[in-house]
Amino acid sequence: MDSMTLKLGQVQLMVGRDKAENLRRACVLIRRAAEQGAQLVMLPEMFCCPYENEMFRPNSEEQGGPAQQALSALSRELGIWIVGGTIPEREGERLYNTCYVYDDQGRQAARHRKIHLFDVNVEGGQYFMESDTFAPGNDITLLDTPWGRLGLCVCFDLRFEELCRVMTLRGARMILAPAAFNMTTGPAHWELLLRQRAVDNQLFTVGTAPARDESGSYVAWGHSMVCEPWGGIVHQCGTGEEVAVTELELSRIDAIRRQLPILSARRTDLYEVR
Ligand SMILES: O=C(O)CCC(=O)C(=O)O
């Protein structure tokens, strides 16, 4: 029987240029969330270096590197789950934008390599070519926890409804997305996407972003958010560094799915694209 409430912590970290300092600060703020009762704490995408192509390789680490060791040790010490945002993970010559998850005993519970790379060129707005540095992951990542099955997306992954729908059909009750939207797509789509994925799939969605640093070359939108299966916003951060602890009432998932049975009412006999 899964636990019916989850105290979820989100660390909207102000990420600087020093990896060791980012890691130290992340651990301080995870502790703060745990002190407030958080049972699972989440970090943002690229929490240990700025979101810049030039920063990824110098700050990368292989399986078992320092950021992973620190988060694993902290989750064991505090007896909480940690969704470790993302770090640049190195395997051979390849780099991946990777989220590691640790259980309350410090064991690695999941590893999600971002599947959809952020290659965009918005006229008059954001340009980014993530594939200049990263290779894409090829796996859909679900993991079982005391609060039910969770699906992982890294930032741009969240835009792909098919991915979220497949995770839902495979039993996800929450979709967690370490992310770093920007000043172009953040105001346009961040809230919309998190609410839309929640209402379409009738589950909780959680987006955890870094704090906004106006001096960076990539300025993050912030506004870490939790949405519930009816599509409402349970919590939304501002733009600065912040620790948020939000209680999620997980029985809402079954209640909404029962009252408005869209998942079971799908007409899959009609949806095939020929
Ligand atoms: O989808 C977006 O607008 C932002 C995505 C992004 O920043 C990322 O994937 O890192």
Average pLDDT over residues 7-32: 98
Predicted confidence (pLDDT) per residue in 100-114, tens digit: 999 999 999 999 999
Nearest CA to ligand 1 atom 4: 181
Cα–Cα dist 165/142, whole Å: 12
Are the C-beta atoms of residues 74 and 27 closer than 8 Å to each other?
A: yes
CA-closest candidate to residue 196, choices 171, 222, 173, 164: 164
Beta-carbon contacts of residue 87 (< 8 Å; ≥ 6 apart): 46, 47, 48, 59, 60, 61, 65, 67, 68, 98, 100
Task: Please tell me the distance from the alpha carbon of residue 20 to that of residue 122, in angstroms, as a whole number.
Answer: 33
- Does residue 33 contact residue 208 with C-beta atoms inside 8 Å? no
CB 221 within 8 Å of CB 214: no
Domains and CATH numbers, the chain: 5-259 (3.60.110.10)
Average of pLDDT values for 72-84?
Answer: 98
Binning pLDDT at 50, 70 and 90, where does residue 274 land? confident
Residue 7 a catalytic site member: no
CA–centroid distance, 189 to ligand 1, in Å, is 10
Average pLDDT score, the chain: 97
**Rounded to an integer, what distance in angstroms lies between the CA atom of residue 93 and that of residue 130?**
16
Residue 40 has pLDDT above 80, yes or no: yes
180 lines ligand 1 (CB under 6 A): yes
Structure tokens at 93: 């010559």
Give yes or no for residue 235 having a pLDDT over 70. Answer: yes
* Alpha carbon of residue 199 to chain centroid: 18
Ligand 1 lined by 116 (C-beta under 6 Å): no
Residue 146 C-alpha from the chain's centroid: 18
Specify whether the CB–CB gap between 260 and 252 falls below 8 A. no
- Which atom of ligand 1 is found nearest the CA of 97? 10
Angle between helices 161-169 and 191-201 (to 10 degrees): 30
Q: Tell me how far the alpha carbon of residue 157 is from its chain's centroid.
A: 10
pLDDT given at position 1:
54
Please tell me the pTM assigned to this model: 0.97
pLDDT at residue number 3: 77
Q: Count CB atoms within 10 A of the CB of residue 250.
A: 21
Q: Which helix (H) or strand (E) holds 75?
A: helix 66-78
Active site residue 45: yes
pLDDT tens digits, 246-265: 999 999 999 999 999 999 99
Is the C-beta atom of 190 inside 6 A of ligand 1?
no
Coil, strand, or helix at residue 220?
strand
**Tokens at 29, concatenated:** 């703020």
